[in-house]
Structure 1
Amino acid sequence: MAGAFGRPLTPPDLPANQREWETMLRASSGHLAALQLRWALREQRLFSACPADVAEYLDAIYTLNLDRNLQCEDQLADFIRLLNSIDVRPVLLKGAAALVGGLYPTSGERMISDLDILIPAHRLPDIIDKLAGAGYKPRATEGREIPSPVGFRGDHHYPPVVSADWPSRVELHISPVHLEFAALLPSEEVYREATAMKWRGGECFLPSPTHFVAHNIIHAFLFNTKSGLEPVSLRQLFEFALASRVYAERIDWKNIRNRFESHGHGKALRQYLALANTLLDFHVPEQIDISAGQRPNIQPYLIHLDLDNRSALWTINFLRQVKSRLRSLWQRRGKIIQELSTPGVYKRFVRSILGSPEG
């Protein structure tokens, strides 16, 4: 994947046989990063050296993803116009911001699972009412009730809204990050420093480059990896490195350093940058020091990435799910008895341990 950023690759760097190709494709697909692999091979002019079935597979993924993302862009444009009709201009987050902001060469290079949008919390009731008239309905996880949008503060986003007319679910965020990290990236600050733009007949905001990068670190590393015990997401790490290159001097690295250090996350910030440097040749900004002593601190994350032992992975996943479920229950501790008496909570836990999707 580092070949997409210019790291020289030669034919000997490619998998030597079918088994190695299958291993690499399985790993990249597991990280939703097969498109970055394709990008790197094409950038290094090695795509023609791939076995024919591998090239066809990667091209097929790109074509299918491009088609879906173009539909998602149509959906997003329609969604923004719906919000504009009630005088709401949202801030686009994560994949939505990357697509609309043109971070990738085309829409086909970035896989997205949903559309994340930041809205003013006090407008949530009006927004839900407007979306209901347009065919959108909130979808709650099995065993949970749809909360009232009035005064909603129970999570960083409302239950996803879905429409039979569109391909993607939409998450309406009242905070760009999970509530435990809300002070690290406050909604008011994101709105205040966002860039207003007109796009396909609607008006919205894009996060500042500094906030886009900070959001990536908080969501991908602090929450998913360090809090959730998940392996480092290569797709998110790639997007971090890409945004750092594209936005370049527009990123205030001193602000990011001070932000994370003041909230006790300076070590995590340096670890994430060290991972990007090691895996993707990310050029660490001079404002942030990742000394040689930092290298041993990232070894557990590198080992987890390479882990192929099913028993070890199952154990890690079990611990991750226990930790995640307990944290979720604690955040809703006012309803903990009701939660524990609901069969759905146990079904979701078992499915998550077995690696089954929740829907």
Structure 2
Amino acid sequence: MTYKQVLYFIGESLTLTRYPNRKIAILKKIQTGSVDWLAIVKEGSNQMVIPALYLNLKQAELLGDLPEGLACYLEEITELNRARNKALLLQVTDLTLLLGKHQITPLFLKGIAHLVDGLYQDVGERMIGDIDFLVAENQLEKIVGILRVAGYHNLLENEILEKPRHYSRLVHKDYIASVEIHWDVLEQHHKHNLTFETLYKTKRKVGDFYVPSYPHLALHNMLNAQVNDHSYRRGIILVRQLYDCFLLTFKPEVLSALKRYKYDYFLKKIYLNWLMKLFKPEHFKWSSNFFINSLMLRYLINTDPKINRIAYFIWRIYNYPRQLILAISNKNKRVAYLKALSKPGWFLKHLKSYQSKYKY
């Protein structure tokens, strides 16, 4: 299977719960032996969608058609992720109670917001790294102090954030996930498109938690992938984020909000057209054109390992003078760099980081 075929098979499989009628087409591909399961599992792991893939195949009763041992392997990963997500929910509950004692209401974002909101068919479906929540910038110092007293500490000493929109990650020995406290959700040049005030004004209460409105969850999903995660700039296909957006589009207000969004035209067009290509939604259509399709080609080209390594190297080299210029004008960044550079072994560690290039 080509990379494109692998990607499209994963995308089609992730729609089985929503579109059960697609089982026949997928079963035919499996029975003809045209599915390269090693490639599927490898890419599914890189994209962090193995639990979602397993649960959709299970819902369609296709596990029995998988190669021997594969269903058990996928089930084991899903069970581990389910246990982790249950621990995350307990941590989110404790954070909410802790901050609530100080009259602070955290607004949970991204994967953890989707999880507490019940977006997924199973608590183990979404793989989640950090717990992200949004607060007013003038509350940041107070919140960091509260968390430190409660036993949280910085994950990385002198962590340098390229374009600060959240505090350095905090961890606790008794909890499973790091915590990111946001005061902005987008990088500097885009943050006016989705501000703290806008998100907080339309927040929803789900149980004991607060999350953004559905339209804002979808807009943040799209802009976070395209801008913060550099999907648009580097030509990266982020299936996990696109799958979240696909699920959110079943909320009627989300589709109308996406259509109304007038900023970042190319970012929006390319992201939603990838959603169309991967999942082929039956409940809505999104127009495309030759120019947009041409721009999308580089996403597939960049998946070639050699091209990806070259692009990654260029990206790193480009960042050195860029970060130097930013450090000149930003005191906090300048101090953080000087501390990092004076730390023994930092240069060797930095050089070794080239060995673990981004993989998607």
Question: Which TM-score bucket, shorter chain as reference?
Answer: 0.7 to 0.9
Secondary structure in structure 2 of the residue aligned to 1:167: coil
Equivalent pair of 2:130/2:180 in contact (CA under 8 Å): yes
Which residue in 2 is equivalent to 1:150?
none
Residue 354 in structure 1 maps to residue 355 in structure 2: yes
Alpha carbons of structure 1 residues 67 and 352: separation in structure 2 relative to 1, 3 Å: same
Q: Displacement of 1:79 after TM fit? A: 0.6
Residue 183 in structure 1 maps to residue 192 in structure 2: yes
Residue 111 in structure 1 maps to residue 127 in structure 2: yes
Secondary structure in structure 1 of the residue aligned to 2:210: strand
Residue 14 in structure 1 maps to residue 30 in structure 2: yes
Alpha carbons of structure 1 residues 45 and 304: separation in structure 2 relative to 1, 3 Å: farther
Count of residue pairs the alignment pairs up: 336
In the alignment, which of 287, 293, 296 is matched to residue 294 of structure 2?
Answer: 296
Alpha carbons of structure 1 residues 88 and 30: separation in structure 2 relative to 1, 3 Å: same
1-structure distance, mates of 2:72, 2:53: 13
RMSD value, Cα: 2.9
1-structure distance, mates of 2:110, 2:60: 27
2-structure distance, mates of 1:158, 1:187: 15
- After superposition, the C-alpha distances for 1:309-355 in whole angstroms (9 at most, x for unaligned) are 3x322112212333455555544433576527816664564344211
In the alignment, which of 66, 91, 94 is matched to residue 82 of structure 2?
Answer: 66
Q: Displacement of 1:133 after TM fit? A: 1.6
Residue 281 in structure 1 maps to residue 291 in structure 2: no
TM-score, with normalisation over the residues of structure 1?
0.84
Equivalent pair of 1:138/1:161 in contact (CA under 8 Å): yes
- After superposition, the C-alpha distances for 1:250-292 in whole angstroms (9 at most, x for unaligned) are 2253x44454x34xx1012111111110111135856x64335
- Aligned counterparts, 1:76-225, within 5 A: 76-140=92-156, 143-144=158-159, 155-199=164-208, 204-225=209-230
Residue 43 in structure 1 maps to residue 48 in structure 2: no
- After superposition, the C-alpha distances for 1:91-125 in whole angstroms (9 at most, x for unaligned) are 11011101100000121000001111101111111
- Aligned counterparts, 1:301-312, within 5 A: 301-305=299-303, 307=304, 309=305, 311-312=306-307
Equivalent pair of 1:90/1:117 in contact (CA under 8 Å): yes
More displaced 10-residue stretch of structure 1: 159-168 or 42-51: 42-51
Equivalent pair of 1:162/1:170 in contact (CA under 8 Å): yes
Alpha carbons of structure 1 residues 355 and 230: separation in structure 2 relative to 1, 3 Å: farther
- Show structure 2 runs of 5+ residues with no match: 1-10
Which residue in 2 is equivalent to 1:25?
41
TM-score, with normalisation over the residues of structure 2?
0.83
User: Taking every aligned residue pair, what percent have the same amino acid on both sides?
Assistant: 22
Equivalent pair of 1:156/1:178 in contact (CA under 8 Å): yes
